[in-house]
A and B are shown apart, each in its own frame.
Chain A
């Protein structure tokens, strides 16, 4: 299951106001399983909207992560606001009639499914309550020694409850993605070549190549928090910052980051790419060092 995701079509990364977002849960899983990217989930969880521990889609990616995926051919960047506006306007006029119909059809299918699930759930709840009531009754009745009648009593109320429910309207739904609108394949509609997309640092690429997962590390006082694998299963080992090969590193930075990292049981890792002749930036060898605070 984990490996079957390799042939997933390119992931759509929505560029909205300079930020890179992924809305499709399948895409999120592909990034996590095949590309060693966990991003940051930022949305409110609709199932439980009053907590901040578990967050939901969209997933925010760093620009360099987006760039790395694009370079691998695993993703494309879509100019989401303009693409949506264009499609929505088209759908409002006659030109996009087909698209609109297709969108509404798919929406309707989902609504019907939702309704069916709702009804099934209701039915289950009803049965459970009935079962409880039945049991209670049974208990009472067996005490009285009227075991035979209980069958009759059980079925009578349920028959009374069961009259065909009035036909309710379909529930409204808000899909998470616009895939139904963007058309099949969830396509490269609105794909752009993002000129601003920064080249990922060789430092980051090296971490990713070695299977490390990274998350934004500012809260621990560094560039990234580096996990040996999926953060679901492992604690971060390092707090890392990337420097230039010839860049002078202020001693104070090493002390601060080192201390901060130690305070959260991580070691401070810093590294740089060696600029070599004949090799493009981002292709050079990367050296990394760790600083750990000895017992004091």
Chain B
């Protein structure tokens, strides 16, 4: 495609590598913001460029990729029609791709929706598990929702799935990794998982490990690692064997089986899945949030703070209320700004506190759905630090702009995260303090597949230097 030869390089926009940042909450520089917004939409979907990306010998570097040149309106020329048709044809070509799993990359998953249906939830959460001699609490597993069992593993499945421990030794499929619906669907979508529908019972496909571990592999010669050995057989026979236990499913079938209404076990809503895969594509590590995340700070804080905050909350009511009309500031002689400020303050200051008010205000419509970590080498699915972000998924059609109380309810589900010590002080990191509140939450608003991320944080109302002027009571 003569995309680049006949173009004035001066017209070329910066490479869209920068555009990927548009999806993240960090706002880019003001000038480019609108370009990015434009770009993030369909403008960036210049599939012609994308198609050429895959032809390795066309020597297209990131520099030559640029925003598709768009026209203002249709002027009815053949040229315009042709470019459009080229774009559409390129899209058709790119999207016609069929996911192929060859040789070593093949990881197979089986859909067994009811295997963990009766699993007792919460067990792993309550008891701390002994592991490597250390007592360690495992992250909540959502075991009941795990519906796809993995056969083998690969790099892309490393940080996904969970083996359920503490099972009877003779339980079939013991020690295998189980995937949540979003994990399975994400893997299928990116072409890393071959999802199969079983036509036999679970025990037949994953027999219980007998005494000798060697025999354990014998009954299922179709496993990934045994694949090459099956070649000698006649192809027809090979096929017979291959499909004895089940057959592969399409992407459409995977969606049909794994996507479902919010309250159904073993399924995920489409909005949540879209957010999940969007984050995964960006390289974040994402886990489902445990139900009712406990606030670890809640119990560890001494009681006297509660009493203090309780009393301090009473204090403002003792202060004289401002006059209903007329100037706020009473005429008079003032020797200190503090007296003036005190009279100017109309609304009770909010002082963030690690303690939740004992009856939680109505948390109703929003909850934390995902815990998100920036990508890091050290992160593993069982051991990780506190999440970088707490994320709630909201459907744009079914909700209004949240009320104050609803936002508070959501924020109260996140842990206490005061600004760091080094940010404090008059000349401290003001922006860092503004960006990081005392509690933080991200909301992903999904508008028919288009995701908008918003960050909400609980701010002390005086992170500004003004804080220094008003002494705390």
Contacts and interface: CB of A to CB of B under 8 A. Distances in A.
Report whether chain A binds chain B: yes
Interface in A87-139: 88, 91-92, 100, 103-104, 107-108, 110, 114, 118
A54 B68 contact: no
Contacts of A50: 281, 283
Interface stretch (B72-80, B310-318, B364-372, B430-438): B72-80
Given A14-B256, A40-B450, A234-B70, A263 B94 contact: no
A23 B100 CA distance: 17
A228 B450 CA distance: 20
B38 A264 contact: yes
Given A25-B92, A176-B98, A181-B250, 12 more contacts: A18-B261, A23-B255, A43-B277, A47-B97, A62-B448, A114-B98, A169-B230, A172-B248, A173-B100, A174-B99, A228-B73, A232-B87
Contacts of B83: 233
Given A219-B37, A232-B45, A46 B252 contact: no
Nearest to A60: B449
B37 A231 contact: no
Given A51-B281, A58-B255, A169-B238, A46 B44 contact: no
B281 A46 contact: no
B85 A2 contact: yes
A219 B34 contact: no
Contacts of A48: 50, 53-54
A173 B37 contact: no
B253 A46 contact: no
B450 A219 contact: yes
Contact of A171 (B102, B186, B239, B452): B102
B255 A1 contact: no
Contact of A231 (B43, B94, B186, B247): B43
A181 B5 CA distance: 46
Interface string B28-51: 000000100110111111110010
B88 A174 contact: no
B84 interface: yes
Contacts of A107: 247-248
Given A29-B88, A173-B99, A235 B70 contact: yes
B324 to A, nearest CB: 27
A236 B23 CA distance: 19
Contacts of A114: 98, 100
B34 A233 contact: no
Top 5 A-B pairs ranked by shortest CB distance? A231-B42, A46-B191, A40-B449, A49-B190, A218-B447
A205 interface: no
Contacts of B448: 40, 60-62, 216
Interface size class of B (residues with CB under 8 A): 35 or more
Contacts of A227: 42
Nearest to B281: A52
14 contacts: A16-B260, A17-B267, A17-B270, A41-B95, A100-B247, A103-B247, A171-B100, A172-B108, A176-B251, A215-B450, A217-B447, A219-B40, A229-B73, A233-B87
A44 to B, nearest CB: 4
A209 B269 CA distance: 32
B39 to A, nearest CB: 8
Contact of A104 (B38, B44, B247): B247
A49 B189 CA distance: 9
Interface string B287-314: 0000000000000000000000000000
Contacts of A217: 447
A22 B99 CA distance: 17
B233 to A, nearest CB: 10
A178 interface: yes
A82 to B, nearest CB: 9
A168 B261 CA distance: 42
